[in-house]
Amino acid sequence: MNISIEHLGQCKKLARIEADVDEVTSVFSEITREYQKEAKVPGFRKGTVPLNMVAKVYGQDIKQDSTKKLLQKTVQQIKTEDNLPVSTIHNIELEKLEPENPASFTMTFEVYPEFELPEYKGIPVTIERREVTDEDMENAFDILRQQQASFSNVERPIKEGDFVVVNYKGFCEGKPISDWAPAARGLTSQNGFWMKIVKGSFIPGFTEQLIDLSAGDKKTVKVQFPEDFVTPQVAGKNGEFEVEICEVKEQVLPEVDDEFAKSYGAQNVEELKKGIRQDLENELAKSRNDNIMNQILEKIVEGPDFEIPESDVTKETKNAVYELVKHNQQLGTPREVIEEQKEAYYNRAFEAAKKRVKLQYILTEVADKENIKVENEELANVIAMFADKEQVSFKNMLNKLKNEDRLVNIHNSIMNSKITDFLIKNAEITETNPSQETGEVNDGQTNAEDK
């Protein structure tokens, strides 16, 4: 087989292939013999059907499989003789493949990038030493109390921290906001709308103007919509709202006692405190590792400069755009606004995708060099965990994950976790005290491996 290769850039290449009569005939003969082994034709025992009859009965299937076989041979030759690590095949132009005829076709493919690994051991990292404080505990208890808060109407002027129920109508430069953005109906008019009187709530500068008003009062509130406002049609413009105060409410928090603790599954307050402290310590540990890992990855990805396969970036960009859209939908962003912002979403996701793909190639090389692998037992443990969670058998869960194409994602997640642990273990970590100025270090460096 004669193959000539052209470089198209961005890890993409074009192969022009010439296969002579002998090569094409050999492939057809090989596939036809494979079909002969299982061929079922009346009057013949299995495996004894003449080859010419096999070719006649299964001709179309043989042609399809012969085409695949020829492409496999092409890829294998490119990998071995041209020493090109083929990753993805894109376009194949092959008009016709017939036995006892030569074949000419082209194939566009991508190769895995080649690069020199940056230094990934002993990377210097600086983090701030953190412990769970009394203030952290108080804040955690406040959150739990607020989840069980009640609200009582008060006959007094509004003060900071109150909750108010209002009716409002919104305008931008004299026109209803819906004239600017038809989808922004909730921003244009609301009745019985709850808001907390705290700086920055709702629209910056809005709630502060309600302080000292009472139930029954009306006021025109003037604001300037932020440049990054969720409704881009009015971003940066001046707005005003006709507001009527319906009710002023004071938040009433429950007492922290054993009954309160029992509502969260603890026997008493002391047991609840222990549980909260453990949760906060777990969060700090995770935050510490995330901080360390982010610093390591930032330094690693800055190292080598190499081409990245375009298809990988495209796929990752699509995934990132999907996540951005999903996040904005969860925030309640109208579909029309999301549609208008698609180009901005794509541009933001594209840059992030290039960095993530590049980083993944580097981490894969690290795993290969350090012989980091995912063992079958590790994969089985995760599958068993999913099975237990959904109350199904291991076999059924395995089949479900295969059908949903999720096994690769689980494998990659375990692999990335193991690579992360390896990099953190081999980092040179310096911890500073919270009271120290940035740049000053404490009593020395601590290697993660010694901890």
pLDDT value of position 435: 63
100/195 same-domain check:
no
Band of pLDDT at residue 445, cut at 50, 70 and 90: very low
> Looking up tokens 């629209």, which residue turns up?
203
pLDDT over 50 at 405, yes or no: yes
231/276 same-domain check:
no
Dihedral of the CA atoms 362, 364, 365, 366 (nearest 10)? Answer: 90
427/282 same-domain check:
yes
- Provide the CB-side half-sphere exposure for 354 (13 A, CA): 12
445/300 same-domain check:
yes
Share of the chain above pLDDT 70, in %: 96
CATH of the domain at 172: 3.10.50.40
298/387 same-domain check:
yes
Reduced to 3 states, what is the DSSP secondary structure of residue 216? Answer: coil
**Which of 84, 111, 138 corresponds to the end of one domain?**
111
Range of the domain at 297: 271-450
- How far apart are the C-alpha atoms of 163 and 155, rounded to whole Å? 13
62/90 same-domain check:
yes
417/295 same-domain check:
yes
| Residue 119 in domain | no
DSSP H stretches of helix in 223-268: 258-262
pTM beyond cutoff 0.75: no
| Residue 125 in domain | no
Describe the crossing of helices 376-390 and 407-425 by its angle, rounded to 10 degrees: 120
Q: Which tops the pLDDT comparison, 344 or 316?
A: 316
- How far apart are the C-alpha atoms of 422 and 415, rounded to whole Å? 11
Could you read off the pLDDT of 311-341 as tens digits, one per residue? 899 989 998 888 888 887 777 676 777 777 7
CATH of the domain at 36: 3.30.70.1050
402/437 same-domain check:
yes
437/295 same-domain check:
yes
The total of structural domains in the chain comes to 3
Could you read off the pLDDT of 149-181 as tens digits, one per residue? 999 999 999 999 999 999 999 999 999 999 998
- How far apart are the C-alpha atoms of 447 and 403, rounded to whole Å? 43
300/237 same-domain check:
no
What's the token pair of residue 197?
């009187």
